[in-house]
Structure 1
């Protein structure tokens, strides 16, 4: 592809590279650069891509895209290299997002389940749907593994191209606050953007809750329509910042455009009546917990905004299935229950434990930890919530990264001081899980929180295989 083709519509400050220069591929990681590639130097968290321009040239880069021009090298200077990368990527793959209906979901909790529910409803209506999210990426039924909620812009457009070429008509994706601030979704126009909720998370990056909220609000400046959870404390601020007409949903407020009435919670799911201005439908969703009602409303709001009839959407929800790592039941063939859930924020821990309390006949046993190199202030909060809502707590490790796992646990225990809830501290997570299983009694519900869909433990930048389903299975194998 010619350089000028890649830069069609991209604002350029200056250039010393020939317009007709043939480019083999676009790279933003200098380690991947090969002869004839275009290297885009972007500024990252811990390092600046401009530091690696020399390395990229040594490896044969044909030209450089940067914010500060290097001496003696063919370079295109731009104001914002991250935005330029997104625009170049769209040109490279033929603007695939423009040929599909783009749907985005942002919020602290509920994004993954909401996206899966939207995908299911649209597929029941006959559409082929691509999904991008925390658990995995999907092109119809084809699974594509992922390492981050929202990929970098170049991978994102490459994925859109695969979806377009596979015949997808819609794309439903989780849109993280990081991706919005770091321009990973720059240039994409969403038909609908949805907001689930805002609770404490990622303050290591955003610093304040208002900064975190403002990041998520960006989605509603690049969407044609919005869907907002009116029950969340941040709802009014999100509506005020939105640049598009928004549909609101609520489990509590009659003023919302979409509401849930006659809510009934069961061990195997939820039931409610979804009402809009002049229409209603009975909804039965086989995923337990009050938060499932909120997720269902968010998903219903999205499909309503793209023209799907409420009755059809409600009918489709009855055949939806749970998401891996979200209140996932682990087969054990015992007289107690083991659940795996991704809850890794104070709000997430509270939601899942309250949901379990709603149907548990025996004790609720909470097994959890906190990730290292992340917001420390949420650790004691999670500890207190678990102690308040569980009958027994097992405090352990969860992705310590470069921190000392024992130090992380000490932060958690600060919030549990003075509690009468019995607890056990076991640093090694597999050992902790085996301990919980060994001490479970009839009708107990053990909730393994934090890992969810993840099948690894990250220690000192290395991901070690660790699948909690396998750990549970190994316990019963040894016991047998």
Structure 2
């Protein structure tokens, strides 16, 4: 394990108590991960305050304690004179800066791309990742789909769903650099930006997908949400901007920090698409760039995914690849798990999984699915316990009248009451008592109910945060597999299914 000696008076304008220099072997924000010579950073969260765990970190061998509670840190320093206590104004920023130092600023030797937006981040990241690797430009990706090198998913620690905390992020970037990767594509959430997880990374390109209301429980207002995302573009050297988006596109263009490529269906976009055609094996389109028209067949579904594809093409071109080179490997693009994922099975009906958990994303995937032939459309939607409750009824408004059967269930309940979450969603229906609206307090039950309602030629659309490998229940990550839940349904007789349609 790498160890570094730091003189903290040279790092920050901060109050340093105890030895000014210490050896650091790791940077952690969970006291249970502390080892000898760890720097423990006290983070104040919604449910926990890291300062409460200072004694535990000391017992486990921490050499440095960093936090914001000056008086407490000063007091602790008198009790542990061999340990350095540092009082900073922003623990998250200090953690990011120290992490970058420990791993020797790996992002400086990588071409870095940050992808942000309310919807589409994971898909755009996956498209860019697969295109660049198909072009023999060794690239890793970091985000909701996990941490990947140029070949496979790696077993890196990732305690948050999308953008890792700064020590984990810098560790992954160091791995990329040490294994001769050329680029890193990083999903960049507004919360991660606001919490300084991406501080010290000078992005070569920032990619914008769209902006619709989200995470307002964290940011407070849509303007604060937008400001957080705009920070990514203020710092990036170049930008890729969705000109169809009314939420943030014009704001990015006003920043005008460097080269920009716009994309979309807008007639003024630099890279745009028209003449969209749909088939069983994908989508056809005409791509226009520099007054030249290219005819493209891509293995993706939905007009919103055409927009995601344009973002990826624009990014690869900005990196330096020609449009002809990029289009030569379009057939190799890969969608991430859980994004318009058609489950391969031997049933007589179609099962589609999609991560749609915002009103905008749900609207888009419903539009795409309804373009496919089907006898009956069965849709499961969810309310999310961890997210803004005001969004829950809007999910119902998006699906009412567009599906033959609707199941309302719960995702990532956290500490929320499941009955309350379902009730919040039901408030969005004009007729919540309608016979085609069903409820299930647990996602597994909701899926089984949806499948039990399907017959030959039907389509079952399962939406929400179901693919990530776990459900957050209270403060625990409980293992969860969507595909296993689906498979379990086909392994049990229909007569054994619970009755779940009670309101």
Tell me the TM-score normalized by structure 2.
Answer: 0.89
**After alignment, is 176-185 or 228-237 more displaced?**
228-237
Match of 1:478, SS? coil
Aligned to 2:447: 433
Alignment coverage as a number of residue pairs = 478
Aligned to 1:96: 106
After superposition, the C-alpha distances for 1:102-136 in whole angstroms (9 at most, x for unaligned) are 01100111111111111111112112111101021
**After alignment, is 98-107 or 426-435 more displaced?**
426-435
Shift of 1:9: 6.9
Structure-2 separation of matches of 1:225 and 1:271: 29
Q: Does 1:422 align with 2:466?
A: no
Shift of 1:58: 3.7
Q: Does 1:70 align with 2:74?
A: yes
1:311-350 paired onto structure 2 within 5 Å = 311-350=324-363
**After alignment, is 150-159 or 306-315 more displaced?**
306-315
**After alignment, is 108-117 or 18-27 more displaced?**
18-27
Does the 8 Å CA contact 1:282/1:314 hold for their aligned counterparts? no
Shift of 1:43: 3.2
Aligned to 2:5: 3
Match among 420, 437, 459 for residue 407 of structure 1: 420
Match among 368, 389, 412 for residue 381 of structure 2: 368
Does the 8 Å CA contact 1:325/1:340 hold for their aligned counterparts? yes
Does the 8 Å CA contact 1:135/1:453 hold for their aligned counterparts? no
Shift of 1:385: 0.7
Does the 8 Å CA contact 2:129/2:141 hold for their aligned counterparts? yes
**After alignment, is 390-399 or 122-131 more displaced?**
390-399
Q: Does 1:467 align with 2:481?
A: yes
Q: Does 1:232 align with 2:245?
A: yes
Match among 45, 70, 83 for residue 93 of structure 2: 83
Does the 8 Å CA contact 1:396/1:429 hold for their aligned counterparts? yes
Are the structure 2 counterparts of residues 83 and 346 from structure 1 closer, same or farther at C-alpha, using a change threshold of 3 Å?
A: same
Are the structure 2 counterparts of residues 269 and 139 from structure 1 closer, same or farther at C-alpha, using a change threshold of 3 Å?
A: same
After superposition, the C-alpha distances for 1:393-413 in whole angstroms (9 at most, x for unaligned) are 111222222122121111111
Aligned to 1:265: 278
Shift of 1:333: 1.2
Structure-1 separation of matches of 2:199 and 2:479: 34
Match of 1:377, SS? helix
Aligned to 1:176: 189
Shift of 1:387: 1.2
Are the structure 2 counterparts of residues 62 and 241 from structure 1 closer, same or farther at C-alpha, using a change threshold of 3 Å?
A: same
After superposition, the C-alpha distances for 1:197-241 in whole angstroms (9 at most, x for unaligned) are 112221111121121111111110121001111111112123334
Match of 1:362, SS? coil
Aligned to 1:217: 230
Structure-2 separation of matches of 1:143 and 1:59: 31
Unpaired stretches in structure 1, ≥5 consecutive residues: none
After superposition, the C-alpha distances for 1:74-96 in whole angstroms (9 at most, x for unaligned) are 32343322212111111111111
Structure-2 separation of matches of 1:271 and 1:168: 32
Q: Does 1:308 align with 2:321?
A: yes
Aligned to 1:444: 458
After superposition, the C-alpha distances for 1:236-259 in whole angstroms (9 at most, x for unaligned) are 1233346444221111x2111111
Does the 8 Å CA contact 1:283/1:318 hold for their aligned counterparts? no
After superposition, the C-alpha distances for 1:48-96 in whole angstroms (9 at most, x for unaligned) are 3334334333433223233324232532343322212111111111111
Shift of 1:20: 4.3
Aligned to 2:153: 143
Are the structure 2 counterparts of residues 461 and 199 from structure 1 closer, same or farther at C-alpha, using a change threshold of 3 Å?
A: same
Are the structure 2 counterparts of residues 60 and 434 from structure 1 closer, same or farther at C-alpha, using a change threshold of 3 Å?
A: closer
Shift of 1:440: 1.0
Are the structure 2 counterparts of residues 466 and 35 from structure 1 closer, same or farther at C-alpha, using a change threshold of 3 Å?
A: closer
Structure-2 separation of matches of 1:44 and 1:282: 50
After superposition, the C-alpha distances for 1:350-371 in whole angstroms (9 at most, x for unaligned) are 1111100011332221112111
**After alignment, is 19-28 or 222-231 more displaced?**
19-28
Structure-2 separation of matches of 1:459 and 1:440: 29
Structure-1 separation of matches of 2:10 and 2:302: 48
User: Cα RMSD (Å) of the superposition?
Assistant: 2.2
Match of 1:410, SS? helix
Does the 8 Å CA contact 2:379/2:450 hold for their aligned counterparts? no
Does the 8 Å CA contact 1:400/1:459 hold for their aligned counterparts? yes
Structure-1 separation of matches of 2:183 and 2:65: 34
Structure-1 separation of matches of 2:277 and 2:449: 34
Does the 8 Å CA contact 2:467/2:482 hold for their aligned counterparts? no
Match of 1:272, SS? strand
Structure-2 separation of matches of 1:399 and 1:166: 35
Q: Does 1:355 align with 2:368?
A: yes
Q: Does 1:128 align with 2:138?
A: yes
Shift of 1:296: 0.3
**After alignment, is 130-139 or 415-424 more displaced?**
415-424
Structure-1 separation of matches of 2:443 and 2:46: 29
Does the 8 Å CA contact 2:192/2:198 hold for their aligned counterparts? yes
Does the 8 Å CA contact 2:141/2:184 hold for their aligned counterparts? yes
Structure-2 separation of matches of 1:81 and 1:464: 29
Unpaired stretches in structure 2, ≥5 consecutive residues: 495-503
Structure-1 separation of matches of 2:45 and 2:304: 35
